[in-house]
Amino acid sequence: MLAFVSMLVVAIAVASLPILVKFFLESTFLQKDVSHIQITSLAIVMLFIVRGIASYASIHLLNKISSLLGDDLRKKIFDKLLSLPVNYYSQLTKYDIDKLIAQTNQASQNLIKIITTFAQEGLIIIGLMTSILYLNQEFTFLLLFLSPLVIMINQMTQDHTNKSDQKNWPATAKLATHLLQTLRNYREIRVNGGQNLENLRLSKIAEGIYHTERKQSLIKATIIPLGEAATAIILVAAFYFIAQQTLNNAVGVDTVGALITAVLLLIQPIQRITHLPQQMQHELASVQTVLSFLNQASEQDTGTQYIEYVCGKIVFENVRFCAHSLTKPVLDHIDFIIKPGEAIVFTGYIAAEKNALIDLLLRLQHPIRGRILLDDHALTDIALNNLHANIAIITKDSVLLDENVAGNIAYGAMRCANEARITTAAQTSHAAEFIREMPEGLQTKIDEKNVIITKKQCQQISIARALLRKPPILILDEITDDPDSSSLFPILEDLIKNRTTLIFAQHIPQLMKIDRIIRLENGCITNNLKNIQHLAQHPVHNTYSLPQD
C-alpha cells in the first residue's frame, strides 16, 4: 500500500510540473512579477525534492516486496525439491540447481518490475492527461485521438523487427545440427581427410544466415525510419494545433509552454507502456519456468497406518525393481526374511543394487512386482513419517547437516531433544572426546574455518544421531568398508544390539554379531549364509547350495 502511495506521489509531482511551468511563464512574460517568479521557481525545486523522496520510497518498498516474494518463492522451491520423487535427483546437476535458483531470483524481480512499470507509468499518463485537460480541453481530445496512433505505430515497428529476428532461428538451428553431426563423426572425417569438405559445407549453410541477416538489416533500416517519420508527423500535427490556437489568441504563451512540457513528459511513459508486452514476453519466461517446476507432482504418501511399536521384522517377497531409464531390472526375485534383532550383511552388490534396496526399504522407490512387509504390515500402508521414525541410516560418507554439533546430533525430528540426551549419545559414540576440545563444545559452529572435523568424527556424529533416535531398524551403508573404521567396531557392536541391522559392505566386517550374509549378484540373491563360521571356511565369492529362509 505504501509503495502505491509513493508511486501516486511521483505521478502527482510529474503531472504538477506543466501547471507550475504555466505559472512561471505567466509570471515572466505576462505579469513580469519577480516575487511570483521566485515563488514558482522555489515550488518547482520543492516539487523535484518531493518527487525524489517519493521515488526513493517507492524503489525501496518495491525492492523489499521483491525480496519478500523471492524469499517466499525460494522456500516453495526448497519444499518442492525435498518432496519430489527420488528419481528426479538422479537427473539433477549443479548446473540445473544454479539455473533454478537464478530463475527464481529473476522471477520475483521481473514480476515486480512489470507490475511497477505498468502502475507507475499508467499513473503518470493519467496525471499528465488530467493536467492537459486542465490547461486546454480541445488539445486533450486531440491527444486522446493521436496517442493510440503513436502506440500502434511503435507496436507495429517492434513486431516487424521481432519477426525479422525470428527468421534467423531455423538457419541457426540447422547450422548447429550439422556442426554437432560433424563433431560426432570426427574420426571418419579426419581419417578420410574431409576437414576442407566439411568446412565448405558448413560455410555454405552459414551463408544462408548471412543473407538473412542482410535482409533483416534492410527491413530494420526501412521500418524504423518510417515509424519515426510517422510519429514525427503526429507530433507536428499536435504542435501545429497549438500554433493555430496561439495565432487565434485562444491560448497564451504560458499555456503553450505548459502544453509542450506535458507532451514531452508524456513521450517516455507511453514508450515504456508500449514496450511492456514485449518486455513481459521476455521477462515472464523465468516466472513460467518457476511455476512449471512448482506444478510438478510431489511424492505422495499413500500410507495411513501408524505402528506404535516396531519389532523390526522385514520381509521381501519376490520383489522386482526396475529404474525408469533401464529396461533390465536392477533387482529381481528378491526374497528374504529378517527377524527382529538380526544383523544381516549384504555383499557382492553394485552401487545401483545397494541404493535400490535401501530406497525400497525407506519407500523412496517402489517395486514393480512383489511386496515388502514390516512387522507383517505392507510397507505401502505405513505412513512415511512413521516408517522413517523407526529407521536410522549411517553412511560411509557421512556429512554434517546443521550449523553446530548439537544440531547435527539432534537433527530433524529430534530437534527438541534436551542437552542431557545429546551429551549421552555423544559419549556413547565416543564423539564427546573431540567435542570437548572444540571452542564451544556442542554449540560449536562447524562451518567456521578454524573448526576442522575429520571423516571419522563425522561418522561418530552420525552414530550419535542414531543413538539419540533409538530406532528398532538400523542401516549401515558401507561404513565398515572404510580403512579407518576398525576403531568404530566396538561402538557399532553396542549400536546394533537388539536392533534389526542391515549392513551393506563389500568386505565382511569383523563384527561379533552377524547372523547372516546375503550375497547379491546381477540383481539377484545368489547366497544366503546363515553361519559366519561356515563363511570363514569358504570364501564369499564361491557359489553355495544353501537353504533359503
Looking at the fold, whether 111 and 144 belong to one and the same domain comes out as no
Q: Is residue 278 part of a domain?
A: no
Looking at the fold, whether 109 and 142 belong to one and the same domain comes out as no
Looking at the fold, whether 43 and 92 belong to one and the same domain comes out as yes
- For residue 88, the SS3 value is helix
How big is the chain by its Cα radius of gyration, in Å? 37
Looking at the fold, whether 318 and 340 belong to one and the same domain comes out as yes
Looking at the fold, whether 129 and 1 belong to one and the same domain comes out as yes
Number of domains in the chain: 3
pTM over 0.85: no
Of 115, 135, 155, the last residue of a domain is 135
Strands (E), 421-480: 473-477
pLDDT tens string 372-382: 999 999 999 99
Least confident range from 81-90, 189-198, 419-428: namely 189-198
Q: Is residue 306 part of a domain?
A: no
Average pLDDT over residues 122-150: 86
Of 204, 226, 250, the last residue of a domain is 250
Flag whether pLDDT at 155 surpasses 50.
yes
Q: Is residue 418 part of a domain?
A: yes
pLDDT tens string 213-262: 777 777 777 777 777 777 788 778 877 887 887 888 778 888 888 988 99
- For residue 440, the SS3 value is coil
Of 211, 232, 250, the last residue of a domain is 250
Q: Is residue 303 part of a domain?
A: no
Phi, psi torsion values for 8, nearest 5 degrees: -65, -40
Looking at the fold, whether 166 and 119 belong to one and the same domain comes out as no
Looking at the fold, whether 438 and 318 belong to one and the same domain comes out as yes
E strand or H helix at 345, and its extent? strand 343-347
Candidates 170, 40, 85, 60; CA nearest to 362 is 85
pLDDT at res. 538: 43
Q: Is residue 343 part of a domain?
A: yes
Which are the contacts of 538, defined by CB distance < 8 A and separation ≥ 6?
Answer: 544
CATH number at residue 436: 3.40.50.300
Candidates 72, 224, 248; CA nearest to 153 is 224
Phi, psi torsion values for 10, nearest 5 degrees: -60, -45
Looking at the fold, whether 131 and 157 belong to one and the same domain comes out as no
Looking at the fold, whether 157 and 208 belong to one and the same domain comes out as yes
Q: Answer left, alpha or beta for residue 363, where phi above 0 means left and psi between -120 and 50 means alpha.
A: left
Candidates 126, 84, 116, 129; CA nearest to 6 is 116
Q: Is residue 106 part of a domain?
A: yes
Q: Annotate 138-174 with b (16+ C-beta within 10 A) or e (fewer).
A: ebbebbeebbeebeebbeebbebbeebeeeeeebeee
Share of the chain above pLDDT 70, in %: 91
DSSP state of 433: H
Q: Is residue 377 part of a domain?
A: yes
The Cβ of residue 124 has, within 10 Å, a number of other Cβ atoms equal to 24
What's the domain range around 338?
A: 314-537
Q: Any bridge partners for residue 517, and if so which?
A: 345, 529
Which are the contacts of 363, defined by CB distance < 8 A and separation ≥ 6?
Answer: 303, 379, 380, 382, 384, 387
More confident residue, 364 or 231: 364
Longest pairwise C-alpha distance within the chain: 119
Task: Return the residue matching grid coordinates 562447524.
Answer: 446
Q: Is residue 85 part of a domain?
A: yes
Question: For residues 315 and 312, what is the distance between their CA atoms, to the nearest angstrom?
Answer: 10
Looking at the fold, whether 143 and 97 belong to one and the same domain comes out as no
Here the cell at position 373 is: 512387509
User: Exposed (0-12), middle (13-18) or buried (19+): which is 28, by Cβ within 10 Å?
Assistant: middle
Flag whether pLDDT at 536 surpasses 70.
no
pLDDT tens string 470-481: 889 999 988 887
Render 198-226 in DSSP notation, one character per residue: HHHHHHHHHHHHHHHHHHHHHHHHHHHHH
pLDDT tens string 250-302: 788 888 889 889 988 988 888 888 878 777 777 777 788 888 888 988 878 88
Looking at the fold, whether 233 and 200 belong to one and the same domain comes out as yes
Q: Any bridge partners for residue 516, and if so which?
A: 344
Looking at the fold, whether 411 and 502 belong to one and the same domain comes out as yes
